[in-house]
Amino acid sequence: MDKKPCKSQEVEVRKGPWTMEEDLILMNYIANHGEGVWNSLARSAGLKRTGKSCRLRWLNYLRPDVRRGNITAEEQLLIMELHAKWGNRWSKIAKHLPGRTDNEIKNYWRTRIQKHIKQADQNFTAQTTVDHHHHSNDQASTSQLSSCGPADHAVESYSPPSSFNPNIEAFQGPYPTESNDNFWSMEDLWSMQLLN
């Protein structure tokens, strides 16, 4: 963590979880100067972080309009629909889900939807391999999904297997009602930074 700088300017770069103090500094700086030019922003704000890290933290967590947790049934359907259309273009998908970030959608897809698709797909193939052996070529999307390879447009052909019932409620997973259980909430942070 505390790398010894050999030159005066190339000071140590912090990594890992952000502290509350860093969050406040970043929020305060952006409130005053706006976002963008992340490298110089990081320097000017006095954060020992890379511009990349600041950008990520801001976009995925600190932005006032960011919504976290509780992905709704409508959002989930939209994600599935758009993913079928565009593949792993998470940022593109995120643009159609106000307040959601590409990172969150990506995580949601990988940890929840993809898992269920895999399971459903296994059932599906178990059912169909018997009688539809020779159709496997034009339905290559299933292997795409399970291998999580470069999805790209190949996924365009993806349609949920018949056994894949988008029973949204079953998907919902054990999200807490709000994810502010252990940490300061965004409102807290914003009110703190407004006090500045």
Partner DNA sequence: AATAGGTTCAACCGCGCTTCG
Partner DNA sequence: CCGAAGCGCGGTTGAACCTAT
Q: Are 42 and 53 in contact (CB under 8 A)?
A: yes
Q: At what angle do helices 38-45 and 20-33 cross, to 10 degrees?
A: 120
Nearer Cβ to DNA, position 115 or 132? 115
Least gap, CB of 101 to DNA (angstroms):
8
Nearer Cβ to DNA, position 38 or 164? 38
Q: Are 113 and 76 in contact (CB under 8 A)?
A: yes
Nearest CA among 78, 141, 150 for reference residue 108: 78
Q: Identify which range of 136-144, 148-156, 161-169, 184-192 contacts DNA by CB under 7 A.
A: 148-156
Residues 158, 120: Cα–Cα separation, whole Å: 13
Dihedral sign, Cα of residue 92, residue 95, residue 69, residue 104: positive
Least gap, CB of 131 to DNA (angstroms):
30
- For position 92 contacting DNA by CB under 7 A, the verdict is yes
The pair of three-digit structure tokens given for residue 171, joined into one six-digit string: 């998907």
- For position 90 contacting DNA by CB under 7 A, the verdict is yes
- For position 14 contacting DNA by CB under 7 A, the verdict is yes
Q: Which residues bind DNA (CB under 7 A)?
A: 14-18, 36-40, 49, 51-53, 55-57, 60-61, 68-69, 88-92, 102-104, 106-108, 110-112, 115, 148, 150-151, 173-176, 179, 181-182
